[in-house]
Structure 1
């Protein structure tokens, strides 16, 4: 009977110590996106991406201008087509039609290639920044003894109260002024 009582007391003690330990776990939260956008690396990457995007947009716009010029030329030929000149105008219109299809195909290919190139460049530039910020978050979380840290910028947390906001501490760890405003989101 004494052994049974001692066993029960031991189980209760373990249960309460586990509950006490769980109650002592510290929770924190960060705004990962804000931290990333506050880094100078992000601002540099954003500038490089904008330059690349503007260049690709200009290339595609130049192709569209050529397309529009050819289309106007084809429409003019169609308007001026008559029974008398149809044997010379019809082959020209057919040729312009084929050129328009080719240009349209090149435009679509250029748009897809530009999207892929921009995506790869974004990954190339942003991934190291994300890794650097994640390492800083881990370091600050360990320093502050956090059991859990939630990212409030991307996680669907409908409600939270309490917990420690580690955003400023992570910014400080990264050498970012805690009052620095995040960069405006990139326009797509």
Structure 2
């Protein structure tokens, strides 16, 4: 089974709309002001991050335990079939083979369903944090006169270049009462089929954009 890719906040962040321009800005001749932030960096420092990671890890462990139990049952029956196969009648042998095939198919279906279930759990847990982040992005944009705020995360970030003073990540954190710099682990999903259930976190980076000197 293919293990899940590293959890990327960009998957959930795609649901966010970072175009925070208001109608009044559009109607005035105010100069365009664009800022950017790293959603992953901000989320990694929010208190909710550790709780989300813990809950995802627990859920993944539960799924993996069920998968391990099914796999153990399958191996046990395979061993019994191999040991007694020579003495089985054709009818019994065919019945055992059919049972093993059905059990193997059940394991494969469980793996697929577990992956989907884990992704859905991840999205459910992240939604309140992302809603909170969006609310504070809007507030920072309004208070500091930003027409647009872009996301600099991902392999293909929306922002490819920008001045350092355009990074509003720390302003967003301060708006939420969080002191920037004490980066925590961003929530990550561990596949139930992975060899280890330890949910390691990707290193949070403040921004991936090139900044002007």
Fold shared, TM-score > 0.5 on shorter chain: yes
| 8 Å Cα contact 1:60/1:107 also seen in 2 | yes
Q: Equivalent residue for 2:210?
A: none
Query: 1:165–1:149: structure 2 CA closer, same or farther, 3 Å change rule?
Result: same
State the number of aligned residues.
160
| Bigger helix share | 1
Residue pair 1:35, 1:182 contacting (<8 A) in 2 also:
no
Mapped contact 2:173–2:179 kept (Cα < 8 A) = yes
Aligned residue runs from structure 1 range 17-166, under 5 A: 24-78=31-85, 81=86, 85=87, 88-154=88-154, 155-166=157-168
Tell me which residue corresponds to 1:172.
174
Q: 1:33 to 1:187 in 2, by over 3 A?
A: same
Q: Kindly state the Cα deviation for residue 46 of structure 1 after the two structures are TM-superposed.
A: 1.4
Please list the CA deviations of residues 141-185 of structure 1 after superposition, one character each: whole Å capped at 9, or x if unmatched.
Answer: 111111221211142433223542110110111122211214145
Segments of 5+ residues of structure 2 without an aligned counterpart are: 1-28, 191-213
- Report the Cα distance in structure 2 between the residues aligned to 1:26 and 1:157, rounded to whole angstroms: 14
1:6 equivalent in structure 2 = none
TM-score, normalised by the number of residues in structure 2: 0.68
Contact 1:27 1:163 in 2 (8 A): no
SS class of match (1:149) = strand
Distance (whole Å) between structure 2 residues aligned to residue 143 and residue 41 of structure 1: 25
Q: Is the 8 A contact 2:40 2:186 kept in 1?
A: no
Query: Contact 2:37–2:152 at 8 Å: present in 1 too?
Result: yes
Q: Structure 1: which 4+ aligned runs deviate by more than 4 Å?
A: none
Query: Please, which runs of 5 or more residues in structure 1 have no aligned partner?
Result: 1-20
Q: Does the 8 Å CA contact 1:77/1:89 hold for their aligned counterparts? A: no
